[in-house]
């Protein structure tokens, strides 16, 4: 699975596509570039949170050029995985037509944390670190040849 044609396409979905899904996309793009093609979307589009950009920069990943998107532009695209990273997105988007592999990672929303900049950044770091651990486990499991790998399906 090292050629671009055989990369697993993964879409991370969150409510606003502003923090958790953006961070997950950035990590999988950076670390899984030979095996995975990463995307993210939200049930609504807003903008990428500056705190998410800042804490990702701390680990050497630049998501400053990412934009917030809805699922609409991805309808009809082929994806191997759909991963929801917040409970509200799981409720709003419990499944999409044709997606064979789905996962749900319940990551607390750092955007809802109030306080000064250091308190908010700590919340984003905690979400980033939980996502980092899940991305690492996902990459190990999804890349195993002894596990079944269904053919990618089209959304919509």
The DSSP secondary structure of 3-62, one letter per residue, reads SGGGPEEEEEEESSSSSHHHHHHHHHHHH-TTTEEEEEEESS-----HHHHHHHHTTT--
154 assigned to some structural domain: no
> What CATH number corresponds to the domain at position 114?
3.40.50.2300
- Considering the candidates 10, 11, 13, 14, report the single residue annotated as catalytic: 14
Instruction: Kindly indicate the confidence band of residue 25, based on its pLDDT and cuts at 50, 70 and 90.
Output: very high
Count how many domains the chain has: 1
Task: Decide if 93 is catalytic.
Answer: yes
Question: pLDDT at residue 3 above 50?
Answer: no
118-127, pLDDT tens digit by residue? 999 999 999 9
- Considering the candidates 83, 93, 121, 142, report the single residue annotated as catalytic: 93
Q: How far apart are CA 18 and CA 41, in angstroms?
A: 9
Please state the pTM of the whole predicted model: 0.85
152 assigned to some structural domain: no
- Considering the candidates 86, 127, 135, 142, report the single residue annotated as catalytic: 86
55-82, pLDDT tens digit by residue? 999 999 999 999 999 988 888 888 889 9
């Amino acid at each position: 699975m090292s050629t671009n044609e055989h990369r697993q396409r993964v879409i991370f979905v969150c409510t606003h596509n502003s923090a958790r899904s953006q961070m997950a996309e950035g990590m999988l793009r950076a670390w899984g570039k030979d095996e995975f093609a990463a995307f993210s979307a939200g049930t609504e589009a807003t903008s990428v949170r500056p705190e998410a950009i800042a804490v990702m920069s701390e680990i050497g990943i630049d998501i400053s050029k990412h934009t917030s998107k809805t699922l609409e532009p991805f309808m009809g695209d082929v994806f191997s995985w759909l991963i929801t990273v917040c409970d509200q997105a799981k409720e709003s988007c419990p499944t999409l037509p044709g997606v064979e592999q789905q996962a749900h990672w319940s990551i607390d929303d750092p955007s809802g944390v109030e306080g000064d900049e250091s308190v908010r950044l700590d919340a984003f770091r905690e979400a980033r670190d939980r996502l980092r651990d899940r991305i690492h486990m996902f990459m190990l499991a999804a890349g195993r040849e002894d596990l079944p790998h269904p053919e990618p399906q089209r959304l919509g």
